[in-house]
């Protein structure tokens, strides 16, 4: 067996319009039953995934919040991979008119055109956050955190590496 782990994104890969077809769920189950490991890697916060997808137990780990949060579906254990911004940061964004703001354990996300306001508030707070764009989404994360870094941590937890 050449491949031991399958890492897949949620939106546009496993799911269409937020929903996963039963044929995809069945294929994931067959893959898992073959002795291989499954990882879900998503920019979404954890709660929407748990609400939308009842079959999260198929996955060995979920990398959520664009790499900032690891979740073990079998134990319910969560591991934060970065420091969240202070609560005052989200309040400052709202005061400046960012009315579409979601807060996760570590991530803050909004939509375009609020990236300019977000950058101004990052400067004002002098905190080490990066802005990542995903379609029209504007995600604010600790610097160095992304799906690839979260995937590497998940693989490490499972005893795998990104090397061959």
Please tell me the predicted confidence (pLDDT) of residue 34.
94
The answer, yes or no, to whether residue 9 has pLDDT greater than 80, is: yes
Res. 3 pLDDT band, cuts 50 70 90: confident
Cα–Cα distance, 55 to 14 (Å, whole number): 12
- What domains sit in the chain, N to C, each tagged with a CATH number? 5-81+145-157 (3.40.50.1000), 87-142 (3.90.1070)
The string of pLDDT tens digits covering residues 15-33 is 999 899 999 999 999 999 9
Sign for the pseudo-dihedral over CA of 102, 51, 8, 12: negative
Q: Which of 92, 6, 16 is nearest to 53 (CA)?
A: 16
Does residue 162 have a pLDDT over 80? no
On the 0-12 / 13-18 / 19+ scale of CB atoms within 10 A, 138 is buried
Cα 75 from Cα 55, distance rounded (Å): 15
> Is residue 1 pLDDT above 60, yes or no?
no
Percentage with pLDDT > 90 across the chain: 90
| Residue 108 confidence (pLDDT) above 80 | yes
The string of pLDDT tens digits covering residues 123-160 is 999 999 999 998 888 999 999 999 999 999 999 999 98
- The pLDDT score that the predictor gives to residue 136 is 86
pLDDT score, position 73 = 97
CB 160 within 8 A of CB 61: no
16-to-52, 62, 136 alpha-carbon distances in Å: 11, 18, 17
Query: Where is 123: in which H helix or E strand?
Result: helix 115-125
Least confident stretch, 1-10, 22-31, 33-42, 71-80 = 1-10
pLDDT at 164 over 70: no
Phi, psi values for residue 132, rounded to 5°: -120, 130
Q: Tokens standing for 76?
A: 């319910």
Average per-residue pLDDT for the chain = 94
pLDDT at residue 135, rounded to an integer: 81
Give me the pLDDT at residue 161, please. Answer: 80
């Amino acid at each position: 067996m050449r491949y031991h782990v399958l890492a897949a994104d949620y939106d546009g890969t496993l799911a269409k319009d937020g929903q996963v077809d039963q044929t995809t769920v069945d294929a994931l189950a067959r893959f898992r039953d073959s002795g291989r490991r499954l990882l879900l890697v998503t920019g979404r916060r954890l709660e929407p995934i748990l609400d939308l997808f009842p079959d999260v137990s198929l996955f060995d780990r979920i990398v959520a919040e664009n790499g900032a949060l690891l979740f073990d579906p079998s134990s319910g254990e969560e591991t934060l991979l970065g420091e969240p911004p202070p609560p005052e940061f989200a309040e400052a964004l709202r005061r400046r008119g960012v009315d579409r703001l979601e807060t996760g354990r570590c991530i803050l996300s909004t939509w375009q055109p609020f990236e300019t306001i977000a950058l101004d508030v990052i400067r004002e707070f002098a905190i080490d956050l990066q802005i990542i764009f995903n379609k029209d989404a504007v995600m604010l994360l600790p610097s160095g955190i992304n799906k690839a870094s979260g995937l590497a941590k998940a693989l490490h937890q499972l005893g795998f590496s990104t090397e061959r």
